[in-house]
Amino acid sequence: MPNARTKLFGVIGDPVGHSLSPVLHNYFLKKYKLNAFYFAFRVVPANLEACVRGAWAMGLAGLNVTLPHKEKVVELVKFRSPEVNLLGVANTLSMREEGVAAFVTDPAGFMASVQPMQTHFRESRVVLFGAGGSARSVAYALSKMGTRELTIVNRTYDRALQLSRFCTEQLGFRKVSVLGMRDPGLNDHILGAQALVNATSIGMSPYVDYTPLYDFSAVSQNHFVYDLVYNPVWTVFLREAKKKGAKVQNGLDMLIYQGLESLQIWMNETYSIARNELNALRIQLSTELQT
């Protein structure tokens, strides 16, 4: 039962009704026997500053931040982690006595989720779809994993060019190329790549019939294809890549690991999840998506 010592956590976004974060985090809180609860709060952009100030004033323990607030929230906090300062986005807020501290757990979540496939990223070329905050976090993670060449594919060329400059000037990539989604040279870049990563929202429910890649003829069994989207579990991007023999993975594991990283920040403790528990949690989250 809740009491005066119960910690309160939550996720803020707009929309937020589809979020799996309450299911995920309440699973963790129960597993680790923590006196806490986690909720979802719809916060429209106009109310973001009031929300952050109010959460700190009321003594909430921490918040996750999802779209469309990941960039704007950085301006509203007192402390920022080095990764937040570098990437300009935050998805985790820790309410501390001296003020609100911001962190970004997406890079750690991505790296943990692809650990079994890390050979596809070390000293390799990766084709990255997207140029927003998620793509920036993935690019940072790729740089930490030893990826040396990157092809950025995006609908808006100027934004992709900005990310390209960031990758070469700040992250140390050896070579970065920028292409449009229908660029005729894209297949050549795919043929020379070891992994493809979708860091856009294309294919996310309810727009399940869309994919960031239109021509899968260059995809083969030599590729690892990763989609940050996890709703639906099987996007068109993953289904078509699997037909070509590629190894594929959705974003559920990234969600789980970045959530675990957030909990560690809030509680200042180290937590882990065993492989069999990870499989059970995947099933639970996938079932939740279908309800």
Give me 158's structure tokens: 């100027």
Give me 192's structure tokens: 């020379």
Catalytic residue among 30, 31, 33, 70: 70
Q: What is the four-CA torsion angle of 198, 203, 204, 207, rounded to 10 degrees?
A: 160
Q: How many CB atoms lie within 10 A of CB 222?
A: 14
Q: With beta carbons less than 8 A apart as the criterion, state whether 245 and 220 touch.
A: yes
Token pair 């690991």: residue: 257
Q: With beta carbons less than 8 A apart as the criterion, state whether 159 and 131 touch.
A: yes
Residues 6+ apart with CB under 8 A from 161: 178
User: Is 70 a residue of the active site?
Assistant: yes
Residues identified as active-site:
70
